Amino acid sequence: MAREAVAVLAFLGPSLAGFLLFYLIPFGATVYYSLLDTPIQGRFVGLDNYRLLWASASFRKAFVNSLAFAAVSVPALFASSLGLALLLNRAMPLRRLFRTMFLLPLVVPAASIALVWQALFHWNGAINAAAASWGTEPTDWMNTRWAFAVMTVVYIWKNIGYNLVLFLAGLGNIPAEQLEAASIDGAGPWRRFRSIVWPGLAPVSFFAVVMSVVGSFKIFRETYMVAGAYPNDSIYTLQHFMNNQFQSLDYPKLTSAAVLLALVIGLAVAGLFRAESRAREASE
């Protein structure tokens, strides 16, 4: 047993060391500094930084926007990727080409993504040019409430390929004999989906939702490149807030916001794990 334990630690040691060095220790330091009034020879102030943070109107706006974006974008991404996977899982012309097209955003650099969407939704961009040719007034996409819809579309376009791979793999693990037997017994497409396909996709669906929730809080990079450090209020998220606090060197607000963001993501993921566990127990 001792020899096996040493072998396990030898294999896991580099990963554990990296996790401690680059994740756990920095996060612990962030929590510690969030309880001080300044990072250098700071005085312990307890939760005062968090109270001051919540009193900030810009933080509350960023907090609500982040939750709203996750609440809208995650279900939209889930539904669109699942529907696309069901479509591409059938025999259809150019199926491999379509699969490749939807996987391309996974390997395209974020800067290239920003340039493409800027070219589309800029005031003088391609969409407004097409609208003008049809006699329609141009829309200031990134400086109005439309910015929220634009970034939702960008998020779905960027992440749909990842979920598509997951769902296609899950569909491939569902025995075709079950579907054929259900079809022979007279079960329609909806009944086959509800009774066979959906339960078979449950583990994959859970993982896809968890990764989508985490990804929805990481939309800052694309938003920053498309709309800048101070975008429209509808897409001003927690990461925008933390980026601005970092530039102004307001470490108490920065560290407190980082801890709260980690707690929000952790609670969301923990809630999903709890819901998945209850659903599994109910099915058994």
| 275 within domain boundaries | yes
| 151 within domain boundaries | yes
pLDDT at 159: 87
Mapping DSSP onto H, E and C, the string for 181-239 reads: HHHHCCCCHHHHHHHHHHHHCHHHHHHHHHHHHHHHCCCHHHHHHHHCCCCCHHHCCHH
**Would you give the DSSP letter of residue 142?**
G
Which range marks the domain in which residue 276 is found? 56-283
Residues of the chain below pLDDT 50 = none
Q: What is the CATH number of the domain that holds 97?
A: 1.10.3720.10
Q: Coil, strand or helix: which one is 111?
A: helix
Q: CA–CA distance from 24 to each of 20, 99, 213 (Å)?
A: 5, 37, 21
| 237 within domain boundaries | yes
Q: How many domains does the chain have?
A: 1
| 27 within domain boundaries | no
Q: At what angle do helices 95-103 and 146-172 cross, to 10 degrees?
A: 130
Q: What is the pLDDT of residues 74-108, one digit of tens each?
A: 999 999 999 988 888 877 677 777 777 777 777 77
pLDDT at 73: 93
pLDDT at 240: 85
Amino acid at 250: D
pLDDT at 214: 87
Q: What is the pLDDT of residues 149-188, one digit of tens each?
A: 888 988 898 888 889 889 988 888 888 888 888 887 777 7
| 51 within domain boundaries | no
Half-sphere exposure of 55 (CA within 13 A, CB side): 6
| 30 within domain boundaries | no
pLDDT at 77: 94
| Continuous H helices in the chain | 2-19, 25-33, 48-55, 57-88, 95-103, 110-121, 126-133, 146-172, 176-184, 189-192, 198-200, 202-216, 220-227, 238-247, 251-283
Phi, psi of 98, rounded to the nearest 5 degrees:
-65, -40
